[in-house]
Amino acid sequence: MTNDSDPILDVAGLSVRFGARTERVQALDDVDIQVRRGEILALVGESGCGKSVTAMAILGLLPKRTARIDARRITLGGTDLHGASDRSLRRIRGNRIGMIFQDPMTSLNPVHTVGGQIAEIVRQHRGVDRRTARSRALEMLDLVRIPDARGRRDAYPHELSGGMRQRVMIAMALACDPDLLIADEPTTALDVTVQAQIMALIADLRRDLGMSVLLITHDLGVVAETADRLSVMYAGRIVEEGTVGTVFSRPSHGYTAGLLGSLPAEGKRRQSRLAEIPGAVPRLSDPAPACAFADRCAYVTADCRAGVPPVVHPGPGHRCRCIRPDAVYADLSQSDIVRAWQ
């Protein structure tokens, strides 16, 4: 969507369909995502909206037999990923793109030591000997601030807490100095206090290592604290995109407005009930040629169902697929969150 000269990850026109003749699901529809060098881009949306599918499609990890992937462009620092062979994709996965997953309890292999699992990725991509890989594992465990890294290196995943395991996952993802880290809901499965530590760690490592991060989350609080820009996804489409400052200070899509409404406002953390977006996420089996959010939107008009809304620019670098961005903004302009960001 943007014309940024040098995004590290550039995805354009990504569509993913699952299933055979009988039951098709359009998981992604014409998705554009750019992650610029050194930035944290948050991909935000409810579960099931296609965030994880996006990540898996970028890595080429969707099941070939059921998933049909179309894209104008998927490139990483100029390297084409969309048309790449399995072999060259494998050289990129874990090496130039590191990935961490939602559930650290099950994402590590229970029968291998954590040090071994980190060393494995180093040996795979760097071709170094066992000892070098082992000392790299130690280095990485230190980097992610695991206390007594030397002792923990030979521990098995079940001997570590959830937070420690997620640190191990991060250490593993970063062991080959990737250009891009994809973090898919990295804190969802963790305790609240641990969540903050892990997000702080990711933010620090981004600064220290100068890498880029694609942060997949449903938590706008996390986005506000750590991300530079955000892309809001709904039902397989990007509906709004911009820097955190522009989007939070001038929300222009009904769905973003709804998400902000369900974010506990600063100083109002004890608010007893969060505002909820009424209705349910539409079934992705037959995408309507209309705004997918129309059925749940508070600002809906008859025109919303006339066709897929075009992209509008409420401000510089701020893009949105909504035909009534001003109505949305006008309604939210006096809310606490928006005022706090202005």
Partner 1 sequence: MLRYAAQRILAGIPILLLVSLFIFSLVHLTPGDPALLLAGDNASPAQVDEIRARLNLDQPLWRQFALWFGDAIRLDLGNSIYSGKPVTELIGQRVEPTLVLSTVTLILTVLIAVPLGAVSAWRANTIVDRLAMGFAVIGFSVPVFAIAYVLVYLFAVRWGVFPVQGYKPLDEGMLATLHSVTLPSVSLALVFAALIARVTRASVLDALNENYIRTAHAKGLGAPRILFWHALKSVGVPVVTVIGIGFATLIGGVVVTESVFNIPGIGRLTVDAITRRDYPVIQGSILFFSAMLILINLVVDLSYAAIDPRVRG
Strand pairing class (67-70; 229-234): unpaired
Q: How far is the CB of 98 from partner 1 (least distance, A)?
A: 8
Tokens standing for residue 84: 């790449």
Closest distance between partner 1 and the C-beta of residue 109, in Å? 4
Phi, psi of 69 (to 5 degrees): -110, 125
Catalog residues that contact partner 1 under the rule CB under 8 A: 59, 61, 89-95, 99, 101, 103, 106-112, 120-121, 124-125, 156, 158, 169, 172
Of the two residues 66 and 333, which places its CB atom closer to partner 1 in the complex? 66
What is the rounded CA–CA span in Å between residue 245 and residue 249? 6
Q: Which two tokens stand for residue 110?
A: 């229970």
Tokens 């075009």 sit on residue: 310
Residue 122: both structure tokens together:
């180093």
Q: Kindly state the smallest distance separating residue 339's Cβ from partner 1, in Å.
A: 41
Min CB(225)–partner 1 separation in Å: 26
Tell me the one-letter amino acid at 307: G
Angstrom distances, CA of residue 210 to CA of 15, 132, 196: 30, 24, 21
Q: How far apart are CA 22 and CA 38, in angstroms?
A: 43
Which is closer to partner 1, CB of 121 or CB of 164?
A: 121
Closest contact distance (angstroms) between CB of 254 and partner 1 is 34
Between 93 and 218, name the residue whose CB sits nearer to partner 1. 93
Q: Give the nearer residue to partner 1 in terms of CB position, either 6 or 159.
A: 159
Closer to partner 1 by Cβ: residue 65 or 269: 65
- C-alpha distance across the termini of the chain, in Å: 25
